[in-house]
Chain A
Amino acid sequence: MTERNKITSKQLGIFILTAQIGFGFLTLPAALARDVGHDGWISILAAGLISSLAIIAIVLLLQKYAGKSIFELSPRLFGKLPGKAINLFLLLYLSYSMVLSFRIFTEFITLYTLNLTPGLIVAVLIITPTAYLLQYGLKPLTRFSYFIFLILFFILVLAFLVAAKIRWTFLMPVGAAGITSLGKSLGTTFIAYIGFELVAFVYPYVVDRENTLKWVLGANLVSMAVFILVFLVTTGLFGENLLKTQLIPLFELARYYRMPFVERTDLLFVLLWFPLVESVFLTYSFAVHDGLRRVFAIKNRRLFFPFFIAAIILLSRIPTDLVQTLAAANLVTIGGIIVVGFLIFCYLFSFAKQKNR
């Protein structure tokens, strides 16, 4: 395969869209209902706009130093040694997110499909597609994430099917939560958008860099629209009080709809969700795999790869159960916000550096 890692901006957009929709989004409506009740959609909208601004800053930074990823930029901006330290931190963030997302993925599969199978076996099983695709580079990986469109299609169909039963009064009065609690909820909502920071890591592989901003922003907006849609539908259907008690409202929604003949529609959704979560995990694992090779200049890919896969599986077994995993996941949120903040800072700092010269 020629140029295995080269992708277009459009594919980058799909890559980001997958990272955003696949994971943080699942628990978002319930978490928002707990924080701000039925006004969650305002929070989604606000966080969407903030993340769009962050995307603009990040892409402008990358375009300024065409063809470099953040790993090459940080030594250039902050000097050799601090740059290396920053790179290590970034790698740590990526690896941590990757391992935890993998663990949550494993737990989620165990919870919904195989309650009795040992976690390690499930882990080995679900890493198979990832291990296969990672060997072939970024291009097939982004092709795999085209699967998101099937999911989006099903979400739309599901929303359409239950639309008649939505009670709009559940969403009234608008703004009842108040500005303070809405502001506080932004953190929760922002996590769902996390994923766009990956642009900074895979940017060097994009072929048509002039279109990057357009496609990544587009992906962010589509994510926002889907988040709002699902939030409105679940809140309008279940009401905020019921929503608060749920774990993954979208699956509850699937369970709520009674399809003729087939029972447990939610199981179908879990099945469909599998490749999607797989591709989210893939996006992060590619970033880590590639980052490790860049930062540590690893040459022998063949030797490195099995170690990499084994390390993911073993590290993901460290938290003892789901509760510990979810607690550890809070660090991902903080890390994500720090990384995004750092990228924006890099952009501003690049101006200061330019002036000094």
Chain B
Amino acid sequence: MKIIDELMESFRDCPDFIAKKVVLTRGKTGYLLFLETLIDPEWVQQRFLEPLLTLDFSAISASTLPESNFVYIRTISSPDAGSLRNAILSGFVILMTAEEGLALTGYPAEKNRYGLHDSFVKDLHVNLGLLRRGIASYNLKLRVLKIGELSPGKVGVAYLEGAVQPELLAELTCRIERLKVDGVVGTGQLERLVRDFPWSPFPQFQATERLDKAIAALLAGKLLIMLDGDPVTMIAPVTFFDFFQEPDDLNGNGFIGAFIHWLRLLAAGLAIFFPAMYVAVMAYHYYIVPVHFLSVLAESRVRVPFPPVIEVLIIETVVELLRELALRLPHYIGVIVGVVAGVLLGLAAVFTGAISGFLLIVSMVALIASLVLPAHDLNFSLRVLKFVAIFATALFGVLGFVVTASVIFAHLVTMESLGRPYFQPVIPFQPSGFKDIFIRTPCSHLRKMMPGLSRNKKGEG
């Protein structure tokens, strides 16, 4: 049947789309169509199909079927693919009989199988259903791939047809299909296997459990990588600046949004370089500090027995320990223990003269700055880079500092996520991308696609 073929084509790459041929009474056939992420198949079987099978279909046509006999059924005579598609996406079950173009639709008695969710769950199918609630379009596709030889698993790549660039999808599926592994336990592990730069400390895909973030990414033409059994979903491709954004930012006032982006960028800089700057200034380039402030600095260090770098390493190690502690303990205990330990340790360190008070300020600012960032995976890379910068600066002063910064910069401009420049829209420069990241124009000016993904000019990048 033409309509069925058309629908099959529309719902290509939608594994939740069920189009099942059923044999009705007296050898008549029909097609049962529905989305199993929106409707429970059991409900379809018991409440919809079984009563219908008892009907004598030879006597039924659009005009003769008494709709009132079935509370939750209505008929569509001479249906077209468009209206059927919409009905399926709204959670209807459709039984389409072959000859007369008659379709029976069941009302969505149970539209959401799993109730309200704001974040993903473990089951891949449920996750697709959650996405469908956000994007009710047959353009939302999920390509399911097999992965793992010893312990086979399912990986879903969700995308929005029309928004996504086909070559990105092809690239990602090709990378996943090429993998030869025994099994994958987490999405993070999968990311490490398919990322562009395996040795990079920076995250190349963005991990999220939040549905709104994932939906925003899909609308922006990005891909979602979902592993069956893991609620964490990966967004790809991403740019460096994506890690400074939150879906909430778009809801607020534009000026505030832009301010917060700048603040987070500053925070990233402070988190990596602030302790290293302290080492550079204290150990090598104290002449950069104005005289009247130098005396204050010197006073704070008068009783400290260690050279600046040891002092910084001590306090930074303690800070990292505190951070881990706050993660491991249950929330309400973690907070209190963290605060008490931090305050007591800090006070004791300064009073006994083990650490200079000024360094304590520096370290705490770096800590706060790193916690401000919305993306945890970026947070971890900044922590590692902070120590690299401290060591380089301790060895070579300001030169070590600049070389570290240059190598990081070089790395950022070299990196790509799924073949897309990581440092867009700054380098390669894309003025249109600045609209959402550095300045915020009114929403009417926002483009349909997120700028990082707009098609580059020939060879640009």
Question: Interface residues, chain A, CB within 8 Å of chain B?
Answer: 1-3, 6-8, 11, 109, 113-114, 117, 122, 125-126, 128-129, 132-133, 136, 139-140, 143-144, 146-147, 207-208, 261-264, 267, 271, 274-275, 278
Q: Is the CB of A146 within 8 A of B410?
A: no
B461 within 8 A of A: yes
Query: CB-nearest residue of chain B relative to A135?
Result: B414
Q: Which 7 interchain pairs have the tightest Cβ spacing?
A: A207-B459, A140-B414, A143-B413, A129-B406, A6-B459, A274-B402, A146-B427
Q: Is the interface of A mostly helix, strand, loop or mixed?
A: helix
B272 CB, min distance to chain A CBs, angstroms: 15
Q: Is the CB of A114 within 8 A of B396?
A: yes
Contacts of A1 in B (CB 8 A): 196, 414, 416, 419
**Residues of B378-424 contacting chain A, CB below 8 A:** 396-403, 405-407, 409-411, 413-414, 416, 419, 421, 423
Question: Interface residues, chain B, CB within 8 Å of chain A?
Answer: 196, 285, 287-290, 293, 396-403, 405-407, 409-411, 413-414, 416, 419, 421, 423, 426-429, 457-461
B411 CB, min distance to chain A CBs, angstroms: 7
Q: Is the CB of A133 within 8 A of B414?
A: yes
Best-surrounded residue of B288, B403, B405 (most CB of chain A within 10 A): B403
Query: CB-nearest residue of chain A relative to B287?
Result: A264
Q: Is the CB of A271 within 8 A of B398?
A: yes
Q: Which of B428, B429, B459, B461 contacts A208 (CB 8 A)?
A: B459
Q: Is the CB of B409 within 8 A of A2?
A: no
Q: Is the CB of B403 within 8 A of A267?
A: no
Q: Is the CB of A147 within 8 A of B409?
A: yes
Q: Which of A125, A126, A132, A139 contacts B411 (CB 8 A)?
A: A132
Contacts of B423 in A (CB 8 A): 143
Q: Is the CB of A275 within 8 A of B409?
A: yes
- Extra 18 A-B pairs, beta carbons < 8 Å, given A132-B410, A263-B289, A274-B402: A1-B414, A3-B459, A7-B459, A8-B459, A11-B428, A133-B414, A136-B414, A140-B410, A140-B414, A143-B423, A144-B410, A207-B459, A263-B290, A267-B288, A271-B398, A271-B401, A271-B402, A275-B406
Contacts of B290 in A (CB 8 A): 261-263
The distance in angstroms between the C-alpha atoms of A247 and B179, with both chains bound, is 58
Contacts of A207 in B (CB 8 A): 458-459
16 contacts between A and B (CB under 8 A): A1-B419, A109-B399, A113-B398, A125-B400, A126-B399, A128-B407, A129-B410, A133-B410, A133-B414, A136-B414, A140-B410, A144-B410, A267-B288, A271-B401, A275-B405, A278-B406
Query: CB-nearest residue of chain A relative to B456?
Result: A8
Q: Is the CB of B402 within 8 A of A275?
A: yes
Contacts of B411 in A (CB 8 A): 132
B410 CB, min distance to chain A CBs, angstroms: 5
Query: CB-nearest residue of chain B relative to A127?
Result: B403
Best-surrounded residue of B290, B407, B414 (most CB of chain A within 10 A): B414
The distance in angstroms between the C-alpha atoms of A275 and B427, with both chains bound, is 15
Q: Is the CB of A140 within 8 A of B288?
A: no
Contacts of B399 in A (CB 8 A): 109, 113-114, 117, 122, 125-126, 274
B458 CB, min distance to chain A CBs, angstroms: 6
The distance in angstroms between the C-alpha atoms of A65 and B400, with both chains bound, is 45
Query: CB-nearest residue of chain B relative to A262?
Result: B288
The distance in angstroms between the C-alpha atoms of A261 and B288, with both chains bound, is 10
Q: Is the CB of A274 within 8 A of B406?
A: yes
B389 CB, min distance to chain A CBs, angstroms: 14
Contacts of A125 in B (CB 8 A): 396, 399-400, 403
Q: Is the CB of A8 within 8 A of B457?
A: yes
Contacts of A278 in B (CB 8 A): 406
Q: Is the CB of B460 within 8 A of A8?
A: yes
Q: Is the CB of A114 within 8 A of B397?
A: yes
Q: Is the CB of A267 within 8 A of B285?
A: yes
The distance in angstroms between the C-alpha atoms of A132 and B413, with both chains bound, is 12
Q: Is the CB of A143 within 8 A of B402?
A: no
Best-surrounded residue of B288, B411, B427 (most CB of chain A within 10 A): B427
Contacts of A117 in B (CB 8 A): 396, 399
Contacts of B458 in A (CB 8 A): 8, 207-208
Contacts of A144 in B (CB 8 A): 409-410, 413
Contacts of A3 in B (CB 8 A): 459
The distance in angstroms between the C-alpha atoms of A275 and B399, with both chains bound, is 11
The distance in angstroms between the C-alpha atoms of A7 and B457, with both chains bound, is 11
The distance in angstroms between the C-alpha atoms of A264 and B284, with both chains bound, is 14
Contacts of A8 in B (CB 8 A): 457-460
Query: CB-nearest residue of chain B relative to A4?
Result: B414
Contacts of B196 in A (CB 8 A): 1
The distance in angstroms between the C-alpha atoms of A7 and B407, with both chains bound, is 21
Contacts of A122 in B (CB 8 A): 399
Best-surrounded residue of B293, B419, B428 (most CB of chain A within 10 A): B428
Q: Is the CB of B396 within 8 A of A263?
A: no
B39 CB, min distance to chain A CBs, angstroms: 43
Contact flag A263-B287 (CB < 8 Å), given A122-B399, A207-B458: yes
Query: CB-nearest residue of chain A relative to B426?
Result: A146
The distance in angstroms between the C-alpha atoms of A128 and B400, with both chains bound, is 11
The distance in angstroms between the C-alpha atoms of A225 and B459, with both chains bound, is 29
The distance in angstroms between the C-alpha atoms of A68 and B89, with both chains bound, is 57
Contacts of B409 in A (CB 8 A): 129, 144, 147, 275
